[in-house]
Structure formats: C-alpha cells, structure tokens
Structure 1
Amino acid sequence: MFKNIFKNIGPGPLVAAAFIGPGTVTVCTLAGVGFGYSLLWAMTLAIIFTVVLQEMSARLGLISQKGLSETIRSEIKHPVAKVFAVVLILSAIVVGNAAYEAGNISGGVLGLETIIGNPSFDIGSVSVNGLSILIGIIAFVLLYLGNYKVLERVLITLVILMSLAFIITAIMTKPNLVAVFKGAFIPKFPEESLLTIIALVGTTVPPYNLFLHASLVKEKWHDKKDLKHVRKDTFIAVIFGGIVSMCIMMAGVSIQATEVSNASDLAKGLEPLFGSYAKYFLSIGLFAAGITSAITAPLAAAFVANGCLGWKSNLKSKKFRAVWMVILILGILFSSLGIKSIEIIKFAQVANGILLPVIAGFLIWIMNKSSLLGDNKNTTTQNVFGFAILAISILLSVATLNKVFHLNIF
C-alpha cells in the first residue's frame, strides 16, 4: 500500500520545497508579526494561482515530454523575439537563482545556528561560516549523483520534516481558529499591507518553479495515462505547501515584537512563551526549507540553461552539472563569507518581476496549441483562471518595479 502511494508521488513535493524557502519563511513570518491573521487570504489566493499555473506546466511536461524552456525555444519562431525570450529567461532564472542561492544556504544556516551556535573559523583575516560549507557539500553530493529517484526521496523526506516542524510550531502557539478561518477567506487590506500581500503571492509563484516542474515531470512520467497522477501530485503538494506557509504566519501572530525581522528571530522569540521545543521545531523547519531550496534552485537553473541553449537534458551531462555547480559554488562562497550581493539580487528581482507575466502569458498561449497538446489543451475554465492570473501577475510585475526603482506608481 505505502509502496504504491510513494510510487505515484512525483515532483509536486519538490516544487513545494522550492517555493517554501527561507524567503517565503521570512515573508510569512513578517506577515504574521505585522498583520496577524488578516493576510491569510493572500496565501489562499496564492495557492489557487500556483495550482493553476503548476498544473499547466506539469501537463506540458508530460504530454510534450519537453521542458518549458525547450518549448519556448522551439515554439517562438521570430528570431528577435526568440533571442529576447532566451536572454530574459537566462537572466532571471540562472543569474537570479545564483543571487538567491546564498540566501537559501544562509537560511539553512540560521536554522542550525539557533540550535548549535556558529562554528565559524578563520582563514587568514577572513572569517568563514562552517555550516554554509556543510550545507553546500550536502547539496553538491545529492546533485552530483544525478539520480532523480535518490534526489526525489531525499527532498520528500526533508519536505515532510519541514512541514511537520512548521505545523507543530503553529499548533503549539494555540492559534485562534475562528480568526484563522476569517483571515483565510475574507480579504482585508490593513494599512501599508499592499507590498506584503504582493510578496506573499509572488514568493509562492516563483517563475523558476514553472520551468522546474515541467522538466521534473518528464523525468518521472512518460505516459499520457499518468496525467491523473500528475494532477493529484500537483494539487496535494501545492495545497499542503500553502497550508505550511499559513502555519508559519500563524506562528508569527503569537509574537508581536518589532525586533522580529526574520524566522530565526521568531524562533528565539517563541522560546520564552512556549518553551525551548517551539524554538527547536521552527529552527529545524528553517534548516529544511533552506537546504531544499539550496538543492532545487541550482537544479532549476540547469534545466533552464539546457533548454534555452539546446543542450541535452541529462542530469549527469557535463554541461548540466557545470551550470548547477557554478550557482551552488557562488552561493556557498557568498554565504560562508557573509557577502551580500545587493545589486545582483536587485537585478534578479527586476528580471523575475518582468518574467512572471511573460511566462504566464506564454504558458496560456502554448497550452491552447492543439498541435502540441492535442485533446489535453486548456479548457475554457482553465483559460479563465489563467487570464485572471495573468492580469494579477502584471500587477505584481509593476509592483516589483515600483518597489525596486521607487517609482511611486501607487
């Protein structure tokens, strides 16, 4: 029985692991600390968006047996448009994931430091964080093995660990269930909450997940008859991932303090209220969130680079390994030395902000092509949801540009 259950678990948990990284944990923590339960509805909205877009991406991967970046390269015929799309995608996903990788590793480090302290050491006049190197080595070994089944099992185990940690933390804080349900289904816009709402939606629907999902589905499944398994895997994993994000927000509600700026602060803040166990559970969750994202971000970048540049998609190929190695090594370097690549991250934010509506628009267009998908193209209902998401993703794009460049659009 359990063997059959795990047999049909696919890339869904890996996609959930990718969007519940340290950035998501921090955004959800700050949303709970700053606005209580009132922004839980934004996460409900984000779950709907993610389910719709990830289902399209997964369906594309199964039916076409191509990754999203490969499809973009083959379906856009105009040479100028093709070059623009490839450059934008490579900039946002490959360069962007390199910039965020240090944050993923540092997030895992924060979780461990809360429990075991900071085992740093000096090389000359430079202080190096040993935990960053440890997490980097773990990620390197798992990626270098190039075995999808091993990678899948390890990440699913980490996702289960992360989920249990955050759910138990939320239960320990004894949330007001009436307020939780109201917050989850009744939209409210507290003062100065707009950017937090946008961040909650944006961090749950990162563009690189759309590329990662299509590529992983074709690694796992090859028969059109498996579409029901693909959909079930996607729906369960994304909804469960959203619930985990909500649990992080609920834990944040119990701490109403200005000094909380990230999940590590929340872990320390929970200790005097709920005992040391609360701190440990949240710290373990943050560690698992960091290490899973530290693995999936380089993996997504390698799939994207392969598809955009026309390389063979093989987990053990030299070119594939070269891409994720560069991103992982940069992440380890920046994290272990405490370097904050502000300008690169700012560039990645802009590129990802522009990319989300572009990719959502392309996805809707490609999912209506009978020549590629046959009877599995989008239904009218799927298109209605898709275009609604496209409109809101444009708002997210404008808001991202507004935030980075201080345009004062709203």
Structure 2
Amino acid sequence: MSDQGGLWGYAGRMGPTWLAGAVAAGPATMASLLTAGAGYGYTLLWVVILAALLGALGQYLAARLGYLTEEGLVSVVETHLGEGWAWVLVTDVVLAAGLAQLVIMQTAANVSALLTGVDARVWAVVWAVVLAVGLAGGGYRVAELGAKVLVSLVVLVFVATAVVVPIDPSAAAGGLVPQIPEGLSGALVAAGVLGGAVHVTLLVMQSYTIRARGWGREERGIVRFDIASSMLVAFGIYGLAIFLVAASVLYAPGVDAEAITEIGAAQALAPIAGEHATWLFLLGLLGAALSTLGGNTVVPPYVLADKLGWDGSIEDPRYRALVVCVALASAGGAFLGESFFSLLVLVLAFGLIGTPFAIVVVLYLLNDPEVVDETPPLPVNLAGMALLGVAVVTAGTFVREQAAAITDPFSAFAVLFAAGIGLATALLLVRFVRVTWRSMTTEA
C-alpha cells in the first residue's frame, strides 16, 4: 500500500491518531482545562499550548516506531530489551488505562443519571454492555468512527463559545510565561493538562492503531497528516477553546481550583447557551466520556494480547474476550465514592507519572539500528529529549507535592508508583547510555 497524496486523499484515510485524539480530548482533559482556567485564569496558557505540541510529537515518535517495525510496541520491547522490560511496560499501561477506565465510566454513568434521572449504576451497566458488544463486534473501526464524530462535535461547541466570550489579550499574553502555581492544586492541574496529551496510554496505543490500519513506511505521509490534523489542530483548538472560555468566564480571584464541580463548570457555556448551558455542557461531557471509553477500552487488551502472543484483532477469540472483560469491568467505576470531576484531573496526573518510561522506551528503540533501519535525525531526537524533560519535570512536581501531603490512599499509591516506575526509567536510561557509548567507541 502506498500514500494516496493530496489533501482530500489524506482526509478520507485518516484515523489512528483521531482515536488517540478522542482519548486525549476526553472528560479528564476537559475537567483539567476548565479547572486550570477557572482556578488560575490565563496563568497556565503555556501548558495548554505546550500540551498540543508535545502531544503531536509523542504521537509522531510512537507512530514512527510503529510503521518502521510494523509490530506492537510490547513485542518490540520483548524482542530487543527483554521480557522483564516488556512486563514493566504492560504494567504501566494497564494501571494507567485501568484507572482511567473506571473514572471515565463513573463520569459517563453520573452524567447520564443527571440527564435522565436513572440511577448511575444502571447506566454504568448499560454503557459497559454497549462497549462490550460494539467493540467486540465491530472492533477498531467502530471506535475510530465514533471518535471522529464525537470529538468533532465537542470541539465545535467550545469553539463557538470562545468566539463570543471576551478574552483579555494582555492577560492571555502573561500566561505564555512558564510558571506553575504554588501548592498541590497548581501542580496537579498542570500535570493534568499536560497528561491529557502526553500520556502513556496514547503513546503505546499509537503503535497498535497504526498496525490495525495496516500502515507501513510507505504511508508516512498520511501518518504525518493524521497526527497534524488530529492532535495538533483538532486537539489544539479544543484545548485552547475550553481553557480560554474558562479563564474568561469562570475565573475570579480566590476561586478554589479543587472546589470546581461539573455544574459550576457548565456556566462556561452560558454566554452562548444561556439557561441551557448545563444541559449542553453535560451532553458534551457525556460525548467526550463515551468517545474516550471507546478508545481506552482496547488499550489493555492490545498490550496484554501482544505480550501473550495473541492476535490483536477481534478475529482472535482470546483478544475479543479481553475486550469484553475490560468493557464489563469498567462498570465498577459507578461505585467510586469521590466526585468524578475532581477524580478526572487526578487520573491524567497519575497517567503522566508513567509516561517518561514509555518515552524512554520509544526513543531507545528508535535509535537502535538493530530495531529500525532509519534512526531519527538529530532534531527529532532533541525534540524527543525535550518531550522527556517536560514530562519528567511536570510529573515530578506533582509527585513532590503529593509526597509532601499524603492524605489518602491515592496519594500514597501515586508516590509509590512514581518511585517504582522512576527507578525503571532511570535504569533504562543508564542502559541506553551504555549501549550508545559502546557503539560509538567500537566504531571509533
């Protein structure tokens, strides 16, 4: 298969990164952006812009490895780094995606309950069954189609609102100066915003969705177009629109970022929707939740099937059974006790903790000539290192604040997980430096 050039030819074939974009533009990202704008005004605008840029870069690096190897990431790791490292990656992904699955299902169920008056636990079972039947029956292409439609609709709603609200240009310009508000809330929200685009789940799933689409190195043109149109343009506009609306409409000095709820956040749409703002916002939140569930459900089955040597498609009954199990297990999210709006931000921050390890894995493999026959040019590697640095600093700031004020089991688990995955990341970096140095000295 080869690229069918031209804008319209590309537009008709794009898809894999739109599935990642649907996961990225989910309710957790929406909650993080609204909390950032409402709690801190334009202060974190630089994080919103950086998230779109680095999100696109991360997708490109993962996609490059995917189309050059034409294998799933876990298989490549097991072959070239060893089984132990493969299991570390699988554990990282399953923990991040599994926690996200529960909280996002909690969101979908509770929003459905608010809209209909039917108990959230009933809705959780309904949506879990819909996921199981839809994904096990139609597979990847069903999730991809739903992602394109729902993400596009959600983006349009917030863009329309951003057009009519007053935005302060001078205050917005001040938000381009990098700074993280002091305290746990500031670090948490910044990590949540960045984690919406730079997330271990998004990086890992890209290699599998590229493979599911059957794209190889001949399709590198459509891969770049797919990434630019989805993560950079659609997700970038989505993030900016939500953040600017929240900063313009909801922000007031003294507002507690942790106290913002879904009903309070709905008032961001009041300038365009008036008394219907709450309903419109809740419908958008539900659409974002369902599109994210469609993409996120298949991630644990992808990596587990790859590690166990199964075919990662619905033709393999074992993979199909994994999809059904993950979909049905997500109904347990309705029984989480915390407010889903606050938990959404925590989910992204937690996922960001495991992201540096995935970035190191991808960069390591991309620069190993035994893995790929086209190692990245220097600018791509430098950009990848910048991506790693930003992820480490942002996640590290969040973990440091969590460690200084451990108040619940989640905080303790986040700190322990950060210690374990941080050690694994450091060890892999040391191995990468040793291998690279040995190769350089041998050639000399």
Same fold, TM-score > 0.5, yes or no: yes
Q: Return the offset for 1:101.
A: 1.3
Mean alpha-carbon deviation: is it higher for 88-97 or for 384-393?
Answer: 88-97
Give a deviation string over 1:188-232, Cα, whole Å, max 9, x none. 444443442233212321101111111001111334221010011
What is residue 11 of structure 1 aligned with on the other side? 16
How many residue pairs end up in the alignment?
392
Over 3 Å counting, the alpha-carbon distance change for 1:352 and 1:310 in structure 2 is: farther
Over 3 Å counting, the alpha-carbon distance change for 1:179 and 1:340 in structure 2 is: closer
Out of 201, 209, 219, the residue aligned to residue 208 of structure 1 is: 201
Helix, strand or coil for the counterpart of 1:205?
Answer: coil
What is residue 92 of structure 1 aligned with on the other side? 92
Helix, strand or coil for the counterpart of 2:250?
Answer: coil
Are 2:255 and 1:255 aligned? no
* Maintained 8 Å contact 2:45/2:175: yes
Quick one: distance in 1 between partners of 2:182 and 2:95? Answer: 34
Mean alpha-carbon deviation: is it higher for 144-153 or for 220-229?
Answer: 144-153
What is residue 381 of structure 1 aligned with on the other side? 379
* Structure 2: segments with no counterpart, 5+ residues: 1-5, 407-414, 416-444
Quick one: distance in 1 between partners of 2:347 and 2:49? Answer: 26
* Maintained 8 Å contact 2:48/2:240: yes
What is residue 69 of structure 2 aligned with on the other side? 64
Are 2:224 and 1:226 aligned? no
Are 2:387 and 1:392 aligned? no
Quick one: distance in 2 between partners of 1:223 and 1:194? Answer: 39
* Structure 1: segments with no counterpart, 5+ residues: 121-127
Over 3 Å counting, the alpha-carbon distance change for 1:170 and 1:131 in structure 2 is: farther
Are 2:18 and 1:25 aligned? no
What is residue 365 of structure 2 aligned with on the other side? 366
Over 3 Å counting, the alpha-carbon distance change for 1:315 and 1:177 in structure 2 is: farther
TM-score (norm 2): 0.79
Matches within 5 A, 1:152-167: 152-167=144-159
What is residue 236 of structure 2 aligned with on the other side? 242
Question: What residue identity is the alignment partner of 2:237?
Answer: I
User: What CA RMSD, in Å, does the superposition of the two structures yield over aligned residues?
Assistant: 3.2
* Maintained 8 Å contact 1:9/1:233: yes
Q: Return the offset for 1:287.
A: 1.0
Q: Return the offset for 1:332.
A: 1.0
Matches within 5 A, 1:111-190: 111-114=111-114, 116-120=115-119, 129-177=121-169, 179-180=171-172, 182=173, 185-190=176-181
Give a deviation string over 1:132-170, Cα, whole Å, max 9, x none. 233323322221114433332122111112211222233
Quick one: distance in 2 between partners of 1:357 and 1:99? Answer: 18
What is residue 295 of structure 1 aligned with on the other side? 294
Q: Return the offset for 1:56.
A: 0.9
Give a deviation string over 1:361-384, Cα, whole Å, max 9, x none. 111111112333223x21100011
Matches within 5 A, 1:73-84: 73-77=78-82, 82-83=83-84
Helix, strand or coil for the counterpart of 2:283?
Answer: helix
What is residue 191 of structure 2 aligned with on the other side? 198
* Maintained 8 Å contact 1:73/1:307: no
Quick one: distance in 1 between partners of 2:285 and 2:222? Answer: 30
